[in-house]
Amino acid sequence: MFWFLRLFLVLWLVGVNPSLAKEIELENGDKIDAKVISEDEDKMVVEHPQLGEITIAKADLKKPAPPNPGLFGTRFMEGWSRRVGFGFSGASGNSDDASVNATFSFGRSAKTYRSSFSSQYFYSSQQGVANTNSFNASYLHDFLFGKSRFYLNAAVQYNFDEYQVWRNRIQAQLAPGYDIFRRDNFRLGAKLGFSVAYTTGSYVAPDPTIPSPGGIEQKETRPEGVVGLSGFWKPFSGHELNATVTYYPDLTNGSLFRLNANAEYRIALAPIKGLSLVFNLDNQYDAGVNTSIPVPGSNTTPPRLQKKNNLKYGGNFDYAF
């Protein structure tokens, strides 16, 4: 029992004070396991079990590898974090179901800005008939002002959904923001601004008195407000939660609005560096949807009708490179 307590105490001390056992790598490739006694900007003093006390110039230490090097040995996307993910599920037998989702994202943070690009593709079918086919991509850029908690958010987003009354939506927004909480492992920000949404393929039911093979497609531009909350939380090492909730009130019709909410929980998988298991959720509510209109492309009997709320959720493995 006492040996177990001693071992636990040693491991705990090493975990709390890593300077007790630190591997130091020199520029020439040599490695030294030694205890760090002191260090400053120019040198490091260490104690080695056999060699005793050694003073090492910081210039002789191996330089750390730059984070996120460029692709394929070039400087392309140097400094940008990059991720690609894929997930699928299926069934065959009494039911024939299949679904796939794929993601690609990259981002970068600096003293003057935070930038991120993300894209997702979803496809699913039931009994061999497709019922989901959607793609969305967005680019967000936060202009930072030194150590101030205020920032300016600019964003562009594109959505495609084969089974919506609209087929394509392009949106641009500009919104001042403020970091309510800002820590190394937690951030919560709020923004308030203005956006414009442009949709094509908006569906209008035909006049029943006029013979028509189907609905009428139209284009629509809608000015909207932007009220949002976004943030991240790292509760444990290797775990990260990102979430966003945004309210878009129609500025020309007070009864219409959109509410988008999405969340992503990421768990790092050892021992493969960069591999993670990701669970994601995306919910979109549109008060302007006419629930008496059939879903475009629906061949079921009776036809599926439009819903104001659309929820997508899933999981995949992604890899940072």
Residues 270-320 have pLDDT tens digits of 888 899 999 999 999 999 888 887 777 666 677 778 889 999 888 999 999
- The predicted-structure confidence for 135-168, as pLDDT tens digits, reads as follows 999 999 999 999 999 999 999 999 999 888 788 9
Q: Tell me which of 53 and 29 has the higher pLDDT.
A: 53
The number of folded domains in the chain is 2
Averaged pLDDT, 22-29? 78
Cα(139)–Cα(156) distance, integer angstroms: 5
Task: Report the sign of the C-alpha dihedral through residues 165, 170, 174, 175, in that order.
Answer: positive
Using a 10 angstrom Cβ sphere, with 0-12 exposed, 13-18 middle and 19 or more buried, the burial of residue 143 is middle
Q: Find out whether 98 and 92 touch, Cβ atoms under 8 Å.
A: no
Q: Within this chain, do residues 32 and 121 fall inside the same structural domain, yes or no?
A: no
Q: Within this chain, do residues 32 and 82 fall inside the same structural domain, yes or no?
A: no
Domain membership of residue 20 (yes or no) is yes
Domain membership of residue 170 (yes or no) is yes
Averaged pLDDT, 173-201? 94
Task: Report strand pairing: 43-48 vs 257-268.
Answer: unpaired
Q: Within this chain, do residues 138 and 26 fall inside the same structural domain, yes or no?
A: no
Q: Within this chain, do residues 102 and 216 fall inside the same structural domain, yes or no?
A: yes
Angular region, 92: left φ>0, alpha ψ -120 to 50, beta rest: beta
Q: From start to end of the chain, where are the E strands?
A: 22-25, 31-39, 43-48, 52-57, 81-91, 97-109, 113-126, 129-144, 150-161, 168-182, 186-204, 216-233, 239-249, 257-268, 275-286, 309-320
Residue-level pLDDT at 67 = 66
The CATH number that applies at residue 155 is: 2.40.160.20
Q: Within this chain, do residues 170 and 276 fall inside the same structural domain, yes or no?
A: yes
Domain membership of residue 65 (yes or no) is no
Q: Tell me which of 5 and 232 has the higher pLDDT.
A: 232
Domain membership of residue 307 (yes or no) is yes
Q: Within this chain, do residues 129 and 190 fall inside the same structural domain, yes or no?
A: yes
Using the predicted structure, report yes or no on whether residue 12 has a pLDDT greater than 50: no
Angular region, 274: left φ>0, alpha ψ -120 to 50, beta rest: left
Q: Looking at mean pLDDT, say which of 17-31, 194-208, 299-313 comes out highest.
A: 299-313
Q: Within this chain, do residues 312 and 224 fall inside the same structural domain, yes or no?
A: yes
Residue-level pLDDT at 19 = 44
Cα(138)–Cα(104) distance, integer angstroms: 11
Residue-level pLDDT at 133 = 92
Name the domain boundary from 12, 38, 60: 60
From 12-21, 41-50, 214-223, 296-305, the region with the lowest mean pLDDT: 12-21
Q: Going by C-beta distance under 8 Å and a sequence separation of 6 or more, which residues neighbour residue 204?
A: 215, 216, 217, 218
Q: Within this chain, do residues 30 and 80 fall inside the same structural domain, yes or no?
A: no
Q: Looking at mean pLDDT, say which of 26-30, 46-50, 256-260 comes out highest.
A: 256-260
Residue-level pLDDT at 139 = 97
Residue-level pLDDT at 202 = 62
Cα(9)–Cα(299) distance, integer angstroms: 67
Percent of the chain whose predicted confidence (pLDDT) is above 90: 49
Residue-level pLDDT at 13 = 44
Q: Find out whether 317 and 86 touch, Cβ atoms under 8 Å.
A: yes
Q: Which residue has the tokens 């444990």?
A: 236
- What pTM did the predictor assign? 0.73
Q: Within this chain, do residues 36 and 141 fall inside the same structural domain, yes or no?
A: no
Cα(285)–Cα(260) distance, integer angstroms: 6
What's the domain range around 46? 2-60
Counting every residue, how long is the chain? 321
State the average pLDDT for the chain: 84
- The predicted-structure confidence for 84-122, as pLDDT tens digits, reads as follows 999 988 887 777 889 999 999 999 998 999 999 999 999
Task: Report strand pairing: 309-320 vs 81-91.
Answer: antiparallel
Residue-level pLDDT at 11 = 42
Using the predicted structure, report yes or no on whether residue 246 has a pLDDT greater than 60: yes
Q: Going by C-beta distance under 8 Å and a sequence separation of 6 or more, which residues neighbour residue 253?
A: 288
